[in-house]
């Protein structure tokens, strides 16, 4: 009986430790879940593959000269290729994601990473296939022309990225 | 012996669960530690009480019209009262902190919170006494006059905040 209890104890402690590692975001940043509040709206399916949510948090661009939106991506969710005539900054707040510019290798993003996307640079971003992902998207130069959307990132490309 | 092992098991599992809660950032966001990389510089002691670090991540304000700096505060660290003629946006990336405007109650900040600080509004921000804290600071309207610094937030005020 003693041996059995110790075995069970070991199993429980190991399971907790593994769960803790995922939740602690200490291994590679992979997250099983990010809370989506009811203030968030589904992203536009014309511009995204998969499931994501957006909430605009700063819209007074007359005062600040920049907008801020919180975007949450379920695993596998990514936006189509696009470019911003006014540029964009991404600040990663949770999970693990991808960012890729046309003709370049994909970059893996983790909490605390900041991406400066220059005006006119074609790119896409989103979650990895096995992690939730969240970033703040800063719309810079709000007086510039709106975002130009292009083709989706196909499954063939997304699941065979050159990392 | 069986009872003893079960008791020890319970103690170990409870201890792990409590540790896990802190690390998971699921209770109140309190964090025992945030990693400070060697790229970070100590904050200016003329403008801060306690220990903190800063790293500028986006400085091309000609292109983006906004700067981005990562600021990490040790528990108890806070900046002096100050105001930004061009305004500022804070995006909380980790831990638990405070933000207070002159004459208003303090606000407790957690990961994902965004604070819009209007031009000329007197305020201070920093960690809580018992948690590390990190935010991105966005300097808006970079052509505006520099930050105006005022008196420190005394221990008497900081440790007796009206929450």
Which residue in chain A is spatially nearest to B17 when comparing CA positions? Answer: A16
Which residue in chain A is spatially nearest to B87 when comparing CA positions? Answer: A64
What's CA B160's distance to the chain center, in Å? 18
CA dihedral B94, B98, B99, B104 (to 10 degrees): 150
Task: Give A6-10 contacts, CB < 8 A, sequence gap 24+.
Answer: A6/B5, A8/B9, A9/B5, A9/B8, A9/B9, A9/B12
Question: In B, which residues are within 8 Å of A114 by CB distance?
Answer: 57-58, 68, 70, 136
Residue A103 confidence (pLDDT): 95
Residue B12 confidence (pLDDT): 43
Asked if B102 contacts B35 with a C-beta cutoff of 8 angstroms, the reply is no
Mean pLDDT of chain A: 88
**Among candidates A23, A64, A70 on the partner chain, residue whose Cβ is nearest the Cβ of B87:** A64
Residue A5 confidence (pLDDT): 47
- Write the burial class of residue B111 (CB in 10 Å: 0-12 exposed, 13-18 middle, 19+ buried): buried
Asked if B85 contacts B120 with a C-beta cutoff of 8 angstroms, the reply is yes
How many CB contacts within 8 angstroms connect chain A with chain B?
Answer: 111
Instruction: Over range B115-138, report the average pLDDT.
Output: 98
If you ran DSSP here, which 8-state letter would residue B83 be given? E
Q: If we measure between CA atoms, which residue out of B109, B107, B161, B157 comes closest to residue B134?
A: B109
Residue B23 has pLDDT above 90, yes or no: no
Residue B28 confidence (pLDDT): 73
Structure tokens at A5: 């209890």
Percent pLDDT > 90 in chain B is 81
Residue B48 has pLDDT above 90, yes or no: yes
pLDDT in tens, A8-30: 444 444 333 333 333 344 457 89
Q: If we measure between CA atoms, which residue out of B45, B72, B48 comes closest to residue B153?
A: B48
H runs (alpha helix) in B33-130: 61-64
Residue B9 confidence (pLDDT): 44
Q: How far apart are CA B6 and CA A7, in angstroms?
A: 12
Q: If we measure between CA atoms, which residue out of A83, A77, A59, A84 comes closest to residue A135?
A: A77
Residue B2 confidence (pLDDT): 52
Put simply, whether A58 touches B (Cβ < 8 Å) is: yes
Q: How confident is the model at residue B162 (pLDDT cuts 50, 70, 90)?
A: confident
> Which residues in chain A show pLDDT less than 50?
1, 5-26
pLDDT in tens, B73-106: 999 999 999 999 999 999 999 999 999 999 999 9
Q: How far apart are CA A85 and CA A62, in angstroms?
A: 18
Put simply, whether B120 touches A (Cβ < 8 Å) is: no
Mean pLDDT of chain B: 88
pTM: 0.83
């Amino acid at each position: 009986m003693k041996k059995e209890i110790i075995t069970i104890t070991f199993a429980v402690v190991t399971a907790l430790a593994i769960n803790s590692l995922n939740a602690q975001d200490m291994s590679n940043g992979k997250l099983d879940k990010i809370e989506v509040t009811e203030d968030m709206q589904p992203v536009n399916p014309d511009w995204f593959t998969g499931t994501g949510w957006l909430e605009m948090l700063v819209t007074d661009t007359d005062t600040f000269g920049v907008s801020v939106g919180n975007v949450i991506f379920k695993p596998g969710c990514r936006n189509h290729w696009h470019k911003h005539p006014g540029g964009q900054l991404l600040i990663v707040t949770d999970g693990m994601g991808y960012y890729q510019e046309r003709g370049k290798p994909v970059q893996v993003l983790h909490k605390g990473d900041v991406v400066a996307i220059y005006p006119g640079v074609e790119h896409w971003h989103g979650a990895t296939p096995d992690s939730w992902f969240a970033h703040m998207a800063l719309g810079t130069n709000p007086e510039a022309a709106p975002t130009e959307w292009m083709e989706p990132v196909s499954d063939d490309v997304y699941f065979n990225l050159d990392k």
